[in-house]
Amino acid sequence: MKTMLSLQRHHYIRTFSILLIAVVLIAGVASCTTPVAEYDLTMAVSPPGSGTATDETGTSPYAAGEVVDISAHPPDPCYEFVDWTAPAGTFGDPNTATTTFTMPARDVTVTANFELTPPDHFKFYTVDGDTAPYVGKDVELVDQFGAFNATVGYAVSFGNPVEKVHGSVVSPIEDGNRHYTLYDLEHEWEPQSWEVMINNQFQDDVKLTVWGPIALAVPTEKIEADLGAPECLNHYLIYEVLYQPFPEVGVTLKDQFIPDGEDVVVWEPVLFANPVKKTVDGVVTDIEKADEHLVFYRIELPPGNTSIDKMIQIDNQFGPQTLDLTLRDTLAVPSLKISWEQPLDHFKVYYVEQAAPLEEEVLLEDQFITDWLGEPLMATVGERIFFANPASKWHGDVWTPISNPNNHLTFYSLSSGTPPPVWWVQVDNQFGLGQELWVQGPYWLAVPTQKGPHDPPVDLDHFLVYQVIDYVGSPLEVQVLLDDQFTEESVTVYEPVLFANPVQKTHGSVVTPINNPDDHLVFYWISGGDFLMPTVPIINQFGPQSISVYEGPQDVLGVPSQKIEWSLVPP
């Protein structure tokens, strides 16, 4: 006979078991109705605007492990598909534009990666000057060097895409429809020069001095049954390359005129091409590929194999034309422009008629004053002493062109009431390496100045000018030809007489900082002339002025220089 306690225990166990079964059943029902986790799929492209990426399945969100159809399409022939990338998940084939993507257990972005279609090499052929077509269209041109208005003149050269074999490296023709016509430019502005660092298959980290622009390269259709119009090509502004190192390498070139190929030797770079935005008759043609540049190299063919007699029909934004090709003489090589700058000019310095001193207070600070005082020098700007024009220079066979024809300098005397110390300076320039100068001052302030109808100076520093009181270096009696906006004359260069540091100037509340701390000038005596310019209107930070300039028995030439070392000489 069961006791009351055992009956109660049996009832408790039975009730607990029923409840446990109920809980398990409820949990089972709940697990059957909980929705499966789903995750968002986002499509993207890189770089932006280079193409489209599409979720072809089109039912995002997706469960982990679900397979999605995806595809990538470039918007035009300027780009081509490279591969797919994603931070999670897997692709059927990441290297094909149409593939599948298996979803991970997370939200995910899938990116279609594109790159610009590879550039071509071009072999350029001279256009017969007697039959060259004339365009006569006014154009507005804007590249990284500036804005230019010009008239497009005669066709001077025509470029075919070309296959290049250089050792074991083959650079195939990427698009047989790509062609260029080069036209010379008629203009009233003065050409300028720049220093450009480039890389290409022939030269690494080479600095080119380029001058111009001198021509315009226009994408062109060559009228033949199996060829179409070029796509995705830049227009280019063409600059002349001056006296640069050359690769001297042998390559084999094959193009549409010489399909069997010919062996040539690649010599010096002769032209440099910047992508350019072109406006003609109100139609704007933007730059397609801002990072693609061309360097043109002179090519030498086997003896007796330089001429060609080829008449072609072309069409471009200037209309249909007929070109008579006579010579093949340059190879245009795709190149990377690493950096560029406009170098400091040479300056032909003239004496200036005396006038009342300005009596303007300024604060001046250069590397010498920092070493000397540790704080800016307070000085008073006095009389005009010199005026400096940018000048081109022939020294032997080397021509140094004017970098910026708008850059001029006016020299004013300085007084500070502080006895000027002496510095030892070592400099390098075209007249010698390791020249040692002992300089005292500062005695003059050279101020960027706008002359007459010219535009204001661009990126030109103020300079503190010191007198050279001693010099150790090779004796100078060097013949050079100088050409500036006043005179052209052959002169003899003698010893250095002045040295100039870039300087920060504070005039009232206006602070003019140093733009180019490595720009320095050494001024040399040169044999004088008899030039006189009675009236020259100028304007600078001290206001508009009218000056007369003239040459004396000894004039001065300012030469861009590198300051290697310097030190304050103890008193």
Output the tens digit of pLDDT for each of the chain's 571 residues. Answer: 344 334 344 444 444 343 333 333 344 444 445 789 999 999 999 999 889 999 999 999 999 999 999 999 987 778 899 999 999 999 999 999 999 999 999 999 999 999 988 999 999 999 999 999 999 999 999 999 999 999 999 999 999 999 999 999 999 999 999 999 999 999 988 899 999 999 999 999 999 999 999 999 999 999 986 788 898 899 999 999 997 788 899 999 999 999 999 999 999 999 999 999 999 999 999 999 999 999 999 999 987 776 788 999 999 999 999 999 999 999 999 999 999 999 999 999 999 988 899 999 999 999 999 999 999 999 999 999 999 999 999 999 889 999 999 999 999 999 998 899 999 999 999 999 999 999 999 999 999 999 999 999 989 999 999 999 999 987 789 999 999 999 999 999 999 999 999 999 999 999 999 999 999 999 999 998 889 988 999 999 999 999 999 998 889 999 999 999 999 999 8
Instruction: Select from 69, 95, 116 the last residue of a domain.
Output: 116
Q: What are phi and psi of 213, to 5 degrees?
A: -80, 155
Can you tell me whether residue 27 is helix, strand or coil?
helix
| Cβ 213 vs Cβ 241: under 8 Å | no
Whether 316 and 365 share a structural domain = no
Whether 410 and 477 share a structural domain = yes
Domain-located, residue 521: yes
Supply the range of the domain harboring residue 99.
38-116
Whether 106 and 127 share a structural domain = no
Please list the alpha-helical segments (H only) found in 187-321: none
Whether 388 and 485 share a structural domain = yes
Q: Token digits for 386?
A: 């010199």
In whole angstroms, give the CA distance from residue 402 to residue 13. 106
Instruction: Select from 94, 116, 138 the last residue of a domain.
Output: 116
125 sits in which H/E element: strand 121-127
Q: Token digits for 520?
A: 């320095």
The strand pairing partners of 410, in sequence order, are 387, 447
Can you tell me whether residue 488 is helix, strand or coil?
strand
Whether 231 and 263 share a structural domain = yes
Domain-located, residue 18: no
Domain-located, residue 16: no
Whether 430 and 394 share a structural domain = yes
In whole angstroms, give the CA distance from residue 379 to residue 364. 7
Whether 391 and 454 share a structural domain = yes
Instruction: Select from 88, 116, 144 the last residue of a domain.
Output: 116
Half-sphere exposure of 215 (CA within 13 A, CB side): 22
| Cβ 367 vs Cβ 323: under 8 Å | no
Burial class (CB in 10 A: 0-12, 13-18, 19+), 396: exposed
Nearest to 293 by CA among 235, 337, 261, 340: 337
Whether 295 and 334 share a structural domain = yes
Q: Token digits for 367?
A: 């590397």
Q: Pseudo-torsion of CA 134, 137, 142, 144, nearest 10°?
A: 10
Whether 352 and 295 share a structural domain = no
Structural domain total, the chain: 3
> Which amino acid is residue 77, in one-letter code?
P
Whether 429 and 548 share a structural domain = yes
pTM of this structure: 0.84
Domain-located, residue 28: no
Whether 419 and 467 share a structural domain = yes
Whether 231 and 319 share a structural domain = yes
Q: What are phi and psi of 3, to 5 degrees?
A: -80, 170
Domain-located, residue 6: no
